[in-house]
Amino acid sequence: MKWNVDTNHAAADFAVKHLMISTVKGQFRKLEGSGETLPDGTLKSVEMTIDVASIDTNMPQRDDHLRSLDFFDVASHPKLTFRSTKIDQKGNDVSITGEMTIRGTTQPLTLKGEFTAPTKDPWGNLRAALSVTGKISRKQWGLIWNQALEAGGWAVGDEVKISVELEAVAAAVAELAAV
C-alpha cells in the first residue's frame, strides 16, 4: 500500500550543541514524503523531502545564517532528502537505513524508532505513523562553518540529533476522498 505524509501532522526537529555548554533546538516547518507498506502492514520504503528554507530555531537572525552559504546554502540546495535503502522491522520497532542528501552531498544514515501500524481515523481514512531518531556529523555533509572559542572548543557542535514524527494517509483512500 502506498502512503503520503500528512503535512499537517509532520515535523522534523534537530538539536546541536552551542558554545559547548547548551543545546540549540530547531525545526524544519515543511516536510513532505511518501512510503509503502507490504500486505502484512510492515514498512517497505520511506522517502522524505524537507524545504530547508523552512528552518526555524525561534531566532530569525540565526535562521538566516543557517540558510546562508555558511551552512545549508538554500539558494543552491533548497531541499534536504532521505530515501530508504533497507528497513528492518520487528513489531513496531523499526530501523531505517537510507541515503540522506544535504547540501548536494549524499551519505548513509540510519534512523531508529517506531512504526505504528495502519488504523482508521474517525473520518474513514487509513493512517499510519512513524517516529524515528538519528545522529549525523554535520561535517560529513559539508556543513563545516564554525568559530573557535577563546577558552577552547567550537561555537557549534559537530553532532546533530535528528527527530522525525509524522502521520501518513493511505494514498488510495486519500485519492478516493478527493473525488
Question: pLDDT, tens digit, for every residue of 162-177?
Answer: 999 999 999 864 444 4
Is 160 within 8 Å of 136 (Cβ atoms)? yes
Least confident of 38-42, 72-76, 135-139, 155-159: 155-159
| Overall residue count recorded for the chain in this entry | 179
Query: Which cell is 20 given?
Result: 559547548
Domains, in order of start, for the chain: 2-178 (2.40.128.110)
Q: Residue 146 is which amino acid?
A: N
Q: What is the pTM of this model?
A: 0.87
